[in-house]
């Protein structure tokens, strides 16, 4: 068997996943020795048309990071799927939608207005916003279409494996790459690699007792006691609803888990489980008291689905045309009159 043919791509992402590959440090040399990197936009100059010229299934393994938000992302997802034997959704965005998928709380126009109109540093008196085509003297220039809804890689094309994390822990990435390089048998398709079956709480070393919360704190509002479970101190921690494998590194740095490793094995919707876990530890029985405590949770969707909104059951907030419009009311009055 020749050298492993590897490709890496970034779609809607921040570039952190590519950094995570570089964070292999000296092992990057082992990787370069064991694998030919055919395509990696962040590091080597290979054009899309070069990838298009590859025969089908030419790439052995493709690590695809980033969510699917534009027609370009979508095109590359389809292209790399057809050119790769194994397509891996690498990192939280590609696995679950990640931070970019929080844009599913609004739509394309909402995102454009925020970026090109309302941000404090924007000076755009003519309200210029991106268009997919523009005519200039030299001809027509095009940009990819920007979609209303951010999708995960698996919602776009068939995916073989998932490596979770924002970004994936380098040790875990290396363990997976080494496993592939050595040609060891791979788990069944659809498996989550480079992570454990259990939750972050399982690998968190803090002391846990019974949880009874009457006040929630955001991380900047409190200096946590060392050694005591952060959730018990009122800091919302996603540990109970998040897959382990990161060695609880945020918690070891005194920051609560934010849930980037996604739902644990067997969990369909991470945010719902997270919500359930948080609601269960609220120490109140009266509706008014419960509401008072719940009010301290700023932005429930952004908290519970910070990395998994695209992957969730709801997938996005409802678009205006989905909600009960006036027309529905009229229709029912018409029906009732008859």
Partner 1 sequence: MTFEPKIVGFLCNWCSYTGADLAGTARIKYAPNIHVIRVMCSGRVDPTFVLKALESGADGVLIAGCHPGDCHYQEGNYSALRRYHLLKKMLSDFGVEEGRVRLEWISASEGDRFAQVVNDMTAQVRALGPFHRQKAPAEQATAETASKAS
Q: Which residues bind partner 1 (CB under 8 A)?
A: 105, 267-269, 271-273, 275-276, 278-280, 282, 284-285, 287, 290-291, 294, 297, 299-301, 304, 312-314, 317-319, 321-325, 328-332, 334-338
Q: Whole-number minimum distance, CB 93 to partner 1, in Å?
A: 21
To which H or E segment does residue 170 belong?
Answer: helix 170-181
Nearer residue to partner 1 within complex by CB, 138 or 322:
322
C-alpha atoms less than 13 angstroms from C-alpha of 318 in its C-beta half-sphere? 6
167/155 Cα distance (integer angstroms): 20
Q: Whole-number minimum distance, CB 300 to partner 1, in Å?
A: 4
266/258 Cα distance (integer angstroms): 19
Q: Give the burial string for 83-93 (b: 16+ CB within 10 Å, else e).
A: bbebbbbbbbb
Q: Whole-number minimum distance, CB 254 to partner 1, in Å?
A: 26
Q: Whole-number minimum distance, CB 338 to partner 1, in Å?
A: 7
Q: Give the burial string for 296-326 (b: 16+ CB within 10 Å, else e).
A: ebeeebebbbbbbbbbbeebbeeeeeeeeee
Nearer residue to partner 1 within complex by CB, 187 or 300:
300
Nearer residue to partner 1 within complex by CB, 223 or 298:
298
Which residues neighbour 149 within 8 Å (Cβ) at sequence distance 6 or greater? 104, 107, 310, 315, 316
Nearer residue to partner 1 within complex by CB, 181 or 236:
236
302/306 Cα distance (integer angstroms): 5
Q: Whole-number minimum distance, CB 294 to partner 1, in Å?
A: 5
Nearer residue to partner 1 within complex by CB, 213 or 229:
213
Nearer residue to partner 1 within complex by CB, 170 or 234:
234
DSSP state of 195: S
Q: Whole-number minimum distance, CB 305 to partner 1, in Å?
A: 9
Q: Whole-number minimum distance, CB 332 to partner 1, in Å?
A: 6
Which residues neighbour 54 within 8 Å (Cβ) at sequence distance 6 or greater? 38, 83
CB 58 within 8 A of CB 36: no
Nearer residue to partner 1 within complex by CB, 3 or 329:
329
């Amino acid at each position: 068997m020749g050298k492993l043919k590897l490709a890496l791509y970034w779609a809607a992402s921040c570039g952190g996943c590519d950094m995570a590959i570089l964070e292999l440090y000296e092992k990057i040399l082992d990787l370069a020795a064991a694998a030919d990197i055919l395509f990696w936009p962040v590091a080597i100059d290979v054009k899309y048309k070069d990838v298009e010229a590859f025969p089908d299934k030419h790439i052995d393994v493709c690590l695809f990071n980033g969510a699917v938000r534009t027609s370009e992302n979508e095109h590359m997802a389809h292209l790399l799927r057809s050119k790769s034997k194994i397509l891996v959704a690498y990192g939280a965005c590609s696995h679950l939608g990640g931070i970019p998928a929080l844009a599913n709380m609004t739509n394309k126009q909402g995102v454009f207005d925020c970026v090109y109109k309302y941000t404090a540093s924007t000076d755009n008196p003519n309200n210029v916003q991106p268009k997919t085509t523009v005519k200039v003297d030299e001809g027509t220039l095009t940009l990819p279409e920007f979609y209303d809804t951010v999708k995960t890689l698996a919602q776009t094309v068939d995916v073989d494996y998932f490596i979770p994390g924002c970004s994936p822990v380098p040790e875990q990435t290396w363990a997976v790459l080494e496993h592939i390089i050595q040609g060891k048998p791979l788990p069944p398709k659809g498996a989550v690699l480079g992570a454990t079956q259990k939750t972050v709480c399982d690998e968190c070393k803090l002391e846990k007792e019974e949880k009874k919360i009457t006040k929630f704190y955001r991380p900047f509002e409190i200096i946590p006691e060392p050694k005591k479970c952060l959730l018990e101190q009122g800091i919302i921690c996603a540990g109970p609803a998040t897959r382990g494998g990161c060695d609880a590194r945020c918690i070891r740095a005194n920051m609560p888990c934010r849930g980037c490793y996604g739902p644990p094995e067997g969990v369909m919707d991470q945010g719902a489980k997270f919500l359930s876990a948080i609601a269960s530890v609220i120490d109140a029985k009266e509706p008014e008291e419960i509401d008072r405590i719940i009010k301290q949770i700023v932005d429930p969707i952004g908290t519970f689905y910070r990395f998994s909104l695209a992957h969730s059951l709801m997938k996005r907030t409802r678009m205006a045309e989905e909600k009960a419009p006036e027309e529905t009311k009229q229709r029912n009055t018409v029906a009732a009159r008859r």
